[in-house]
A and B are shown apart, each in its own frame.
With several copies, the nearest count.
Chain A
Amino acid sequence: MGIFVDAFRGGLDMLVSGATDVWSIVLVSVQVSGAAVLLALVLGIPAGFVLGTKRFIGRRMMLVIANTGMGLPPVVVGLVVAMLLSRRGPFGKLELLYSQPAMVIAQLVIALPIVAAVSAAAVSAVPRELRLQARSLGASPWQEAFMTLKEARMGLIAAIAAGFGSIISEVGAVTMVGGNLAGKTRVMTTAIVQYTRMGDYGPALALAAVLMGMVLVVNILLARVQSSAERFEA
């Protein structure tokens, strides 16, 4: 295991010494993935609610699309978004390629199907009668939806964790559309890749540890909500 320990210790030293501007990288990660995850939740959870509760023509097709979307290779997303935003592409005028907004777009495309598909499944497990009961007590459609999401919180948290996880850990697409520009679009994952390519496994692992620590903290917070539902169970 010496190979790990050595590498890791070296990397940690480097991060702590401030030789690398770790915190700017972390900040960019938080900004980009935070924005993307928020958007993914804002769009994906309502989509999941509709897919999980309503019956309409094309619903099954949309479920297939969402499920398929979870298999969308991030590099393909990156490629397509890059082509769209490239100077020669249709949205070239916006000059968005290699900027944070571009990364947010790509990550959103990656996380959206996950959030939508998993929350659709979660919401569909809430008995229809419970929704009718809420409605019969005066709930508006929004209040009814909110109640349903609360009932489905275990699955919903899994959806959020999966969406967040897919985004924060993603590297292919953000590299392609962000360009890994130091201080601008370099995020934790792209920095990890860079260190790896440079053979600097130490900082790579140290950054990975920082990343995992962040994910862990987020998930510990999410777990509180998740298990708050179980307080009431037998």
Chain B
Amino acid sequence: SKSTPEAANPEPAPVEKTKFVLASTTSTQDSGLFDVLIPAFEKANPEYTVEVIAVGSGEAMKMGENKDADVLLVHSPAAEKAFMEAGFGTERRDVMYNDFVIVGPASDPAGIKSAGDLNAVMAALAKGKAPFMTRDDKSGTNAKELKLWAGASVSPTATANAADWYLSTGQGMGETLKITNEKQGYTLSDRATFLTSKGALDLVILREGDKALLNQYGVIPVKDAAHLDGGTAFMEWITSAEAQKIIGEFGIEKFGQALFTPNAQ
């Protein structure tokens, strides 16, 4: 059966349970990972219940700043670094990574499949033969995309016909993939979201496996949060062997391959 957004948490929580808020990204939630992860956590730590708020990485960190979240699970290394430096988090740990893929129409009008390295890919895309969808939402994916352009020394918005090919969707990965599909253009997607929504799309993976396409997730308990204990417990648990094993197996049953690679130290 398909994954569902409902957590299997039928019993009402005993009174003494503490509730804490985990702010994460929509891509993580949309993949269905939390549907297995959260129940497992709550079983292992019966004194807690978790509330997952799925937003963009940017907003998730804003929630941290505002102390509306107790712990973050995000994937935007540069922003995470800034968050830590501003003193909003207690500590940051790697949790897992998945990888990004560049998807596009099977016909590959920009010819990126045959391009040499990623920089060549980006340069080819910048020729504007087909639209490229940017999420433009300060998400982890968006940050990674901008890094790729920078690496190739291309400024897409500065190209002559940017308005025609470099399209800002300002939305989540799922929506951006749909738009890419309609436009039969290209975009950078995390593998999990692409696999989840592949059924409705006429898009294929054109680039994958490049080192620069890895997508690192980190966990950060929020300093001075109301339920920092819960956040810390979550960090400890998700980096534990037990949780890492669950992550490593997630998706195999449904997609035939794991969606995330655990890499907690």
> What does the 1/0 interface line of A20-61 toward B look like (CB < 8 Å)?
110011000000000000000000000000000000000000
> What does the 1/0 interface line of A199-214 toward B look like (CB < 8 Å)?
1110100000000000
Provide the bound-state CA to CA distance between A197 and B168, in Å: 14
Q: Does A153 contact B (CB under 8 A)?
A: no
Q: Does B242 contact A (CB under 8 A)?
A: no
Contact segment of A121-129, A140-148, A188-196, A222-230? A188-196
Q: Does A73 contact B (CB under 8 A)?
A: no
**A19 and B1 within 8 A (CB):** yes
Chain A residues with CB under 8 Å of B51's CB are 98, 179, 181, 184
Chain A residues with CB under 8 Å of B168's CB are 180-182, 186
Report B211 CB to chain A, min CB distance, Å: 28
Nearest-CB residue, chain B, relative to A97 = B182
**B179 and A197 within 8 A (CB):** no
Report B159 CB to chain A, min CB distance, Å: 14
Chain B residues with CB under 8 Å of A183's CB are 6-7, 9-10, 163
Contact segment of B61-69, B91-99, B233-241, B244-252? B61-69
Q: Does B261 contact A (CB under 8 A)?
A: no
Nearest-CB residue, chain B, relative to A7 = B200
Report B58 CB to chain A, min CB distance, Å: 4
Q: Does B54 contact A (CB under 8 A)?
A: yes
Nearest-CB residue, chain B, relative to A195 = B5
Nearest-CB residue, chain B, relative to A182 = B168
**A175 and B182 within 8 A (CB):** no
Contact segment of B109-117, B169-177, B212-220? B169-177
Provide the bound-state CA to CA distance between A170 and B144, in Å: 31
Chain B residues with CB under 8 Å of A175's CB are 171, 175
Q: Does A219 contact B (CB under 8 A)?
A: no
Provide the bound-state CA to CA distance between A5 and B161, in Å: 38
Known: A180-B169, A180-B170, A181-B51. A199 touches B59 (CB 8 A): yes
Report B12 CB to chain A, min CB distance, Å: 9
Q: Does A87 contact B (CB under 8 A)?
A: yes
Q: Does B56 contact A (CB under 8 A)?
A: yes
**B7 and A182 within 8 A (CB):** yes
Nearest-CB residue, chain A, relative to B26 = A197
Provide the bound-state CA to CA distance between A37 and B185, in Å: 32
Chain B interface, DSSP helix/strand/loop, else mixed = mixed
Provide the bound-state CA to CA distance between A196 and B63, in Å: 11
Chain A residues with CB under 8 Å of B163's CB are 183
Q: Does B226 contact A (CB under 8 A)?
A: yes
Within 8 A of B (CB), among A51-107: 82, 86-89, 92, 95, 97-98
Q: Does B14 contact A (CB under 8 A)?
A: no
Provide the bound-state CA to CA distance between A67 and B188, in Å: 43
Within 8 A of A (CB), among B6-65: 6-7, 9-10, 21, 26, 29-30, 32, 51-56, 58-63, 65
Report B17 CB to chain A, min CB distance, Å: 13
Report B187 CB to chain A, min CB distance, Å: 12
Q: Does A137 contact B (CB under 8 A)?
A: no
Nearest-CB residue, chain A, relative to B170 = A194
**A198 and B137 within 8 A (CB):** yes
Known: A86-B66, A199-B59, A199-B200. A182 touches B183 (CB 8 A): no
Provide the bound-state CA to CA distance between A5 and B178, in Å: 20
Chain B residues with CB under 8 Å of A191's CB are 5, 170
Report B246 CB to chain A, min CB distance, Å: 18
Chain A residues with CB under 8 Å of B137's CB are 194, 197-198
Q: Which of A87, A181, A200, A201 contacts B181 (CB 8 A)?
A: A87
Known: A20-B6, A183-B163, A191-B5. A198 touches B59 (CB 8 A): yes
Known: A87-B181, A181-B179, A199-B61. A21 touches B10 (CB 8 A): yes
Listed by A's residue number, 14 A-B pairs whose Cβ atoms lie within 8 Å are A24-B6, A86-B68, A88-B67, A88-B68, A181-B53, A182-B6, A183-B163, A190-B170, A194-B29, A196-B59, A197-B30, A197-B172, A197-B175, A201-B200
Q: Give the 8 A-B CB pairs with smallest separation, nearest first.
A: A199-B62, A194-B170, A182-B168, A199-B197, A198-B58, A197-B56, A87-B67, A198-B138
